Amino acid sequence: MKNNANTIEKIVSLSKRRGYIFQSSEIYGGLNGCWDYGPLGVELLNNIKKEWWNSMTLREDVEGLDSSILMHPKVWEASGHVENFTDPMIDCKQCKARFRVDLLGGMLNEKRKKKSVRAILENCNDEKLKNKIEDICSKNNEIDSFDIIIEDSELSGILLNELNCPQCGTQSSFTAAREFNLMFKTFLGPVEDTGSAIFLRPETAQGIFVNFLNVQNSTRQKLPFGIAQIGKAFRNEINTKNFLFRTREFEQMEMQFFVKPTDDKKWYDNWKVERIKWYKGLGMNSENLKFHDHPTNKLAHYAKEATDIEYNFPFGWGEIEGIHNRTDFDLRRHEEFSGKSLKYFDEETKEKTLPYIIETSAGASRSFMAFLTEAYDEEEVNGEQRVVLRLHKKLAPIKASILPLVNKDGMPEIAKKIEEDLRFKFKIFYDDKGAVGRRYRRQDEIGTPYAITIDTQTLEDQTVTVRERDSMEQIRILSDSLSSYLLEKLAE
């Protein structure tokens, strides 16, 4: 079901209709790359964040933090973002569409890629560059060669000459590639000059690094220990796409684990296992998750080892979380730029060291989209189509609906009493409008795991039906035991 080409459109449509996700500033035509979480969306997002937060901070070796979005501008020089946080960008001179050069390959089919690689082999007049291209092509197939060449700053220009604009189709109409910094710039205080320029953080991680010793001193944690943070990050992405996958404002759930340099491999492997387990534990199918280990020549400037946890989205595999061995790069750079020591003092050995950092960096917004995609299902029931969000119970925005069969004969009174009893225990929804079958379908579509129905038999023996979303099976239980029954079920 999930790999149906229309699935994303169906999820976007359901999200809007039922209050999961709205376009930002919709009445003004929307704002590209920004989305609003509606009443159900905010519940799902909060549940994801709560599960992540608990999985991290209920451990004795991880502390929480909430650092500010605006930070000293030197932070971003030390982190390397001012220098390196750029994407190569080109414009089509004809239609003015803007593209990220390294993502262009994803917009072209295999035939087109092969054709353009053959064309540059034939047309390139520069001996040195031609040798370089031939060398790449002798070691890789044409599709992989395309991807390598397009990412090579020296060669990409030649390849661009052979390509048509994915938007208007004009050939070789691209401007030369320019490096574009993804950080949003703003100004601190009333004067807009270079001295007051600051950035919206493009990741939450730096707030953790600069607070490393504050947290360690105040909590008396010993190595190894971690600091977890959830918060907004901002990137002025050149191309936003695929709904919540690449947006300009998003939320990250990052945990930086500080270890002795000699223990880095052990903890890197450990966090890989822990993190993939987390997604599976919240209902993701193993088949839809995989690691993508970064080859050594593609590692970020700060990383010794890195992997992405990828999810099998309807548009293909996409990263939902990055796990990196960042070595002592970040602490060393912040020491250098701030002039302050960030060394850890080992009480036992009386030695000072700069710890290595193992980072787990998950996107809350991207995980949201992955969980929603994983949950979306359509099936035929009694000749009718049923849309159901098979969300894990811990993530479902509404845990149970209360449905009096009819609005008379004392049923609403019993239903209201049940509502009163459950209202502050977990999120419920009271619905007395329309045929009960339709009310079930509405709850299935938003992923509510349980539906409680008050019917004529309730009037006789005080039992109600509890219908389970996925199996649609119904059981009868005494209304007095509803609360304990559901609390137990929801904790499973």
Which stretches of the chain bind ligand GAP, using CB under 6 A?
203, 205, 235, 237, 246-247, 250, 252, 254, 319-322, 359, 361-363, 365-366
Single out the residue of 396, 392, 389, 281 nearest to residue 2, CA to CA: 389
Q: Distance (Å, rounded) from C-alpha 333 to C-alpha 77?
A: 9
Beta strands 474-478 and 463-468, pairing class: antiparallel
Kindly tell me the sign of the dihedral angle through the C-alpha atoms of 340, 343, 346, 349: negative
Amino acid at the residue 121? L
Single out the residue of 446, 449, 456, 458 nearest to residue 418, CA to CA: 458
Q: Distance (Å, rounded) from C-alpha 72 to C-alpha 76?
A: 8
Q: Distance (Å, rounded) from C-alpha 446 to C-alpha 460?
A: 32
Count of positions (residues) in the chain: 492
228: buried, middle or exposed (CB in 10 Å: 19+, 13-18, 0-12)? Answer: buried
Q: Distance (Å, rounded) from C-alpha 122 to C-alpha 118?
A: 6
Q: Which helix (H) or strand (E) holds 362?
A: strand 356-363
Q: Distance (Å, rounded) from C-alpha 56 to C-alpha 127?
A: 55
Cβ 321 to ligand GAP shortest distance, Å = 5
Asked if residues 176 and 89 have their Cβ atoms less than 8 Å apart, the reply is no
Distance (Å) of CA 106 to CA 3, 71, 93, 116, 223: 17, 35, 21, 14, 42
Structure tokens of 424?
């502050």
Cβ 335 to ligand GAP shortest distance, Å = 19
Asked if residues 482 and 418 have their Cβ atoms less than 8 Å apart, the reply is yes
Dihedrals φ, ψ of 187, to 5°? Answer: -125, 140
Single out the residue of 475, 466, 490 nearest to residue 395, CA to CA: 490
Longest dimension (CA), the chain: 91
> What does DSSP assign to residue 323?
E
Distance (Å) of CA 473 to CA 403, 429, 482: 16, 20, 16
Q: Distance (Å, rounded) from C-alpha 265 to C-alpha 260?
A: 10
DSSP reduced 3-state for 415: helix
Position with the least CB separation from ligand GAP: 363
Structure tokens of 113?
């890629």
> What does DSSP assign to residue 448?
-
Structure tokens of 410?
């004392």
